[in-house]
Structure 1
Amino acid sequence: MKKWVWHIFKKFIRMLLLLLFVSIGAFLLVSLSPVDPLQANVGQTALGALSQEQVIKLETYWGVNEPPLERYLAWVGDFLRGDMGVSLLYRQSVSSVIVQKLLNSLLLMIFAWTISGGLGFVLGIMSGMNRGRMIDKIIKGYALLTASTPAFWLALIFLLLFSVWLKLFPIGLSVPMGMDAAAVGISDRLWHAALPALTLSVTGISNIILHTREKMIDVMESEYVLFAVARGERKWEIFKNHGFRNVLLPAITLQFASVSEIFGGSILVEQVFSYPGLGQAAVTAGLGGDIPLLLGIAVISAAIVFAGNFIADILYGVIDPRMRKGVRQ
């Protein structure tokens, strides 16, 4: 048990170090970018109307002439205190903008993450237990097709088919057009998130299907399963007694690792559906030169992805106690 706790602690420290490297890399890339901090914050027209003394004061305020290391340490210090700066485009604190957009994105991603994980696990098991049969060929063909389908292209097709032609889903946004967001109920929010979530699920399900299928095939070809078949056990009994736990662990790995894929896909999907989530905010910040918001989103996004992998490590020991006893040093 002590080894397992130490293993989790090391994983946590590694996650913090990775976040530190992400923040350094993001800050370095922004510093090397051709974006002029004064022009991005004040605007080209307003900057031309300022006096030289005012320009110097702004340069001092934004730390234009300070070494990059000093600017980074000052930014990290403020970040750790909860001050991520002020968004230039939204005219709000970066933390409040991220919270607003993240809530919309989490609704979308949890919706898609649950559908793709559950359905992918079931379809992968069905395909692996019926290797070579028609159902296996159909499921495998679907997984291979969707794995090579770009998320933005599928989003455009779904938008055209289900929203424009069939009028089954809203065209976009996270709330009905013209309504105050505070007056919108959870049912309306789920309805607006349904089609974007379905798009993410269709593209994110393929890896889970294919990996679960391969693991299930390995289980079905193992000696203890062949012995169980010889004893007359049925497929459901074989899966319940021998296959479920062996397939569940790699499925959990893929499920939590797919957080990064779903988040990356949500950036393009949110753009297509005009869904006001964190992905759309990242694109807006990048195109608009909103450096404080862009840096905040980069660190928070990395934290979400790393947290998914960290939770998977913890769940390993919960599902299979043998993992707690056999952790390698």
Structure 2
Amino acid sequence: MGFILKFFVGRLLKLVLLLLAASILAFTLVSNSPVDPVQSYIGAEMTRVSPEQRENIAAYWGMDEPPVQQYLKWAKAMLNGDMGTSLIYRSPVAEVIAERFLASLALMGVAWVFSGLFGFLLGIVAGMKEGSWADRLIKWYCLMLASTPSFWLGLLLLMMFSVWLGWFPVGLGTPAGILAEDVTLLERVQHLFLPALTLSVIGVSGVALHTRQKLIEVMHTDYIRFAMARGERGIQLVRRHGLRNILLPAVSLHFASFGELFGGAVLAEQVFSYPGLGQAVVQAGLGGDVPLLLGVVLASTIFVYMGNMMADGLYRVVDPRIRKGGIER
């Protein structure tokens, strides 16, 4: 239990430092952005607003203060549990993030599960059939996916299944013009399918190639040769002797892919106009919405960090060598 407590305390301290660095970097980039937050806040009525009114709006939102003072003021409010108010949505940042994060979590969760399962199965097939046409086909497929931008694949799926075939809605998270309580589960699934498919297909390659390589290494060990000499073959051989050696690395790698998953979700949500956290961070950046942008940066940083911490924790719990004195990271 001692190493587990030490592990979590160390990771918590690193998370605090990471959040501090990420918030400072995000605030610096937004402060030096050419986007005028006051103009974005006013919108099309900009020509009807006098200079005095612009100054009053800037003073109301604290934009007339020096950047350092603005950041310290935000950090103090953040420590008190106040994330500020979004300039774009005119709502508390915490409420906007909570609503958007649930939508993104559903999208990324579905994509994460299916990409992991499909990638793991492809990796097993490729590893069992090393050097065969199936192995070459799976490797080509995975390498092609690894170099495919998620927004391009999303546009392709959108044109094929929504525009040409008309099987799925063009975008959004729910049908337009319908109250949220009146939306059925089937309608939500229909709007979720194409964005989740885009992320699932893109996320397959890493797990498949890693599982393939690990299985090939296992298949060349002495105990596998001994099992084959006893007559074990095919899926039975992999299930009894290889699965336990390739499952944990694949799961750990998949947990560590949270950052790539979130980055792909940002692009996919833009393509499909899906109301998630990724779309909110793009709108916040383009609109100069500093409170919302900083809130999303902190939320996404925690999300990605938790994935990496779970991946690292799995290895440390299962493999004692990683937490020994000479290998301690």
State how 1:1-329 maps to structure 2 within 5 Å. 1-42=1-42, 44-45=46-47, 48-50=50-52, 55=55, 58-59=58-59, 62=62, 64-66=64-66, 68-317=67-316, 320=318, 322=320, 326=324, 328-329=327-328
Name whichever of 296-305 and 33-42 sits farther off. Answer: 33-42
Gaps of 5+ in 1: none
Normalising by structure 2, we get a TM-score of: 0.90
**Does the 8 Å CA contact 2:174/2:183 hold for their aligned counterparts?**
yes
Q: Which amino acid aligns with 1:33?
A: S
Structure 1 distance, partners of 2:25, 2:314, is 30
Structure 1 distance, partners of 2:323, 2:264, is 37
> Post-superposition shift, 1:111?
0.9
**Does the 8 Å CA contact 2:218/2:242 hold for their aligned counterparts?**
yes
> Post-superposition shift, 1:215?
1.1
1:231–1:62 distance in 2 versus 1, CA, 3 Å:
same
Q: RMSD of the TM alignment (CA)?
A: 2.3
Deviations 1:37-61 (A, max 9, x none): 544445644653426xx83784375
Deviations 1:114-167 (A, max 9, x none): 110111111111111110112212211211111111111111111111111111
**Does the 8 Å CA contact 1:4/1:324 hold for their aligned counterparts?**
no
**Does the 8 Å CA contact 2:35/2:286 hold for their aligned counterparts?**
no
> Post-superposition shift, 1:189?
1.3
> Post-superposition shift, 1:75?
0.9
Deviations 1:210-269 (A, max 9, x none): 111111111111222223222332333432333222212221222112211121111111
Structure 2 distance, partners of 1:187, 1:121, is 28
State the secondary structure of the residue aligned to 1:292.
helix
Structure 2 distance, partners of 1:177, 1:41, is 25
Deviations 1:255-290 (A, max 9, x none): 112211121111111111111111111111222222
1:58–1:137 distance in 2 versus 1, CA, 3 Å:
closer
State the secondary structure of the residue aligned to 2:171.
coil
Structure 1 distance, partners of 2:125, 2:296, is 39
1:274–1:134 distance in 2 versus 1, CA, 3 Å:
same
- Sequence identity percentage: 49
Structure 2 distance, partners of 1:30, 1:314, is 34
Q: Which amino acid aligns with 1:205?
A: V
State the secondary structure of the residue aligned to 1:294.
helix
**Does the 8 Å CA contact 2:101/2:276 hold for their aligned counterparts?**
yes
State the secondary structure of the residue aligned to 2:256.
helix
Q: Which amino acid aligns with 2:33?
A: S
1:252–1:279 distance in 2 versus 1, CA, 3 Å:
same
Gaps of 5+ in 2: none
> Post-superposition shift, 1:187?
2.9
| Alignment: residue pair count | 325
Structure 2 distance, partners of 1:282, 1:34, is 17
**Does the 8 Å CA contact 1:316/1:323 hold for their aligned counterparts?**
no
